[in-house]
Amino acid sequence: MQPRHIPDVSRPLRCDLLLSGGRVVTVDGRRSVHEPGSVAIAGNRVVAVGPAAEIDAQWEAARTVDCRGRAVLPGFVDGHSHLFQALARGMGEGLSIWPWLCEFMWPYSIAVDPEDARVAATLGAVEALRSGITTVIDNHYAPTDPDTVLAVARAVEAVGLRGAVARGMLGRRTEVAARRGLPDALYRYSTQEELDITRDCMRRRPPRTSMVEVWPAPLNLSYVDQDLVRGAVELAAEFGTRWHTHCSEGAKDPASYLEAYGVRPVEWLAREGLLDERATLAHAIWLDDAEVKHVGERRAGISHNPTSNAYLASGVMRLRELRDAGAVVSLGTDGPSAGHRQDMFEVMKQTLFGQRQHHLDPAAARCEEALELATREGGSYAGTGTGTLSVGAPADVVVVGLDRPHLRPVHRTVATLVYSARGSDVELTIVDGRVVYEEGRCTLVDETALLAEAQERAERLVSRAGFDALRGAWQH
């Protein structure tokens, strides 16, 4: 068992940053909560965590942050986002998933240009950091030329996040895609070209050499070319990364796949030997019992996106069955257009409420589980080793202010964080040992200039996409 902290010595040990005296929720193997507790950071790692009296006596820091009246917890992992959608926030109201895609998101994504994508990704990354997200899996599919994909990855990293840009691929236009109304303009590359471009991006930005890597991402299991999926899985194995896809988000997705191929999508992945711990499947709502078993047996990852699932009325994921089967479940915001806020506090709360409402059981999920999914399980899903405050873990840490009326009194810190806190309560975000959000501003970005540019680009983009009517002040 790993020691809780480094033993006492005759002289104080040196660290770069000491978070002192807060309510420290570690989400470690023992699920320790230290009240008050302290966390010592040296370089990009946690070097000590435990009761404040012990840690503060043993460590001398270049900088000490007084965390009394605050909670200290691991940074959140957003398992599924679409940062390029940030310039379309607040549109597409009142549509279920397929009309939303066909009438709104596909036309929007076709109209996005490379600079729009870069600015939107920067805006989304800033929003994420401000709400305590330290890792994001950004499913990027507009546009997907190599220069834009790499520019988006650089933009996300420049803001201070870690994670991956999962390059969305379509390849050959399948019969399922044609029947379901995907527009021709989406299909810019053949299956082989998609794989070649993704390989080029991964070579130019090798995994584990930067904070934000590139993953292969066949866009949606239900309508992409099966050869594209095989190629994506092979690419992930070749480069040692995960791969990402949308999976059975809409109720009709498995049925359309079954009609076309005689097998359900996750069943096909398992049968072909393509389902393993490298798979990260977004949504995975409409799985049958056999598919749940396959996902669990192969320790595949699932991104549960309850806020967007509710917004689009897509359904409720089988959280308990998937976790009991062995699946690694992360939480995701699904980006600024379907989730509208990249706020993992909201996502945690919606996870609980969705499960309880669906099962009519207030014990169907608990706040401790929601926090684990947003942190520890998210780190396993993303393969980053983040999501826990323990000796040797990456120093991705969030400090949340608790001295506000909607957060007092604090009887149980975990319950307060999950039920009462919100992204705007985050006061400090640390990624890889570096303070990237503090005192209401991201430290690496000119937020004022960014917001002005984002507004200007969004207005032009909405007009170019033909959505001016959707900007009406009051819609009926």
**Total structural domains within the chain:** 2
Statement to judge: residues 314 and 414 lie in one domain: no
CATH number at residue 64: 2.30.40.10
Indicate whether 436 and 406 sit together in one domain: yes
Distance CA 350, CA 470 (A): 27
Q: Which of 382, 402, 418 is the last residue of a domain?
A: 382
Q: What is the pLDDT of residue 10?
A: 59
Domain match, 113 and 257 both: yes
- Residues 117 and 103 occupy one common structural domain: yes
Do 190 and 67 have their domain in common?
no
- Establish if 54 belongs to a structural domain: yes
Do 142 and 187 belong to one domain? yes
Same domain assignment for residues 299 and 362: yes
Give domain status of residue 412, yes or no: yes
**463 within some domain:** no
* CATH at 299: 3.20.20.140
Q: What's this model's pTM, rounded to 2 decimal places?
A: 0.96
The last residue of one of the domains, among 362, 382, 402, is: 382
Residue of 263, 276, 170, 149 lying closest to 223 (CA atoms) = 170
Q: Give residue 260's domain range.
A: 76-382
pLDDT at 301: 98
- At residue 160, the pLDDT reads 98
Final residue of a structural domain among 365, 382, 399 = 382
Q: Decide if 459 is inside a domain.
A: no
Residue 433 falls inside a structural domain: yes
Residue 352 lies in a domain: yes
The pLDDT of residue 93 is 86
Looking at the structure, do residues 272 and 375 belong to the same domain, yes or no?
yes
pLDDT score at 2: 45
Residue 4 lies in a domain: no
Specify whether 369 is located in the same domain as 419. Answer: no
The answer to whether position 374 is within a domain reads: yes
Please indicate, yes or no, whether residues 355 and 402 belong to a single structural domain of this protein: no
**202 and 348 inside one domain:** yes
pLDDT at 470: 80
Pair (358, 417) in one structural domain: no
Q: Digits of tens for pLDDT over the chain (476 positions)?
A: 344 454 455 579 999 999 999 999 999 999 999 999 999 999 999 999 999 999 999 999 999 999 999 999 999 999 999 999 999 998 888 889 889 999 999 999 999 999 999 999 999 999 999 999 999 999 999 999 999 999 999 999 999 999 999 999 999 999 999 998 999 999 999 999 999 999 999 999 999 999 999 999 999 999 999 999 999 999 999 999 999 999 999 999 999 999 999 999 999 999 999 999 999 999 999 999 999 999 999 999 999 999 999 999 999 999 999 999 999 999 999 988 888 899 999 999 999 999 999 999 999 999 999 999 999 999 999 999 999 999 999 999 999 999 999 999 999 999 999 999 999 999 999 999 999 999 999 999 999 999 999 999 999 999 999 988 888 878 77
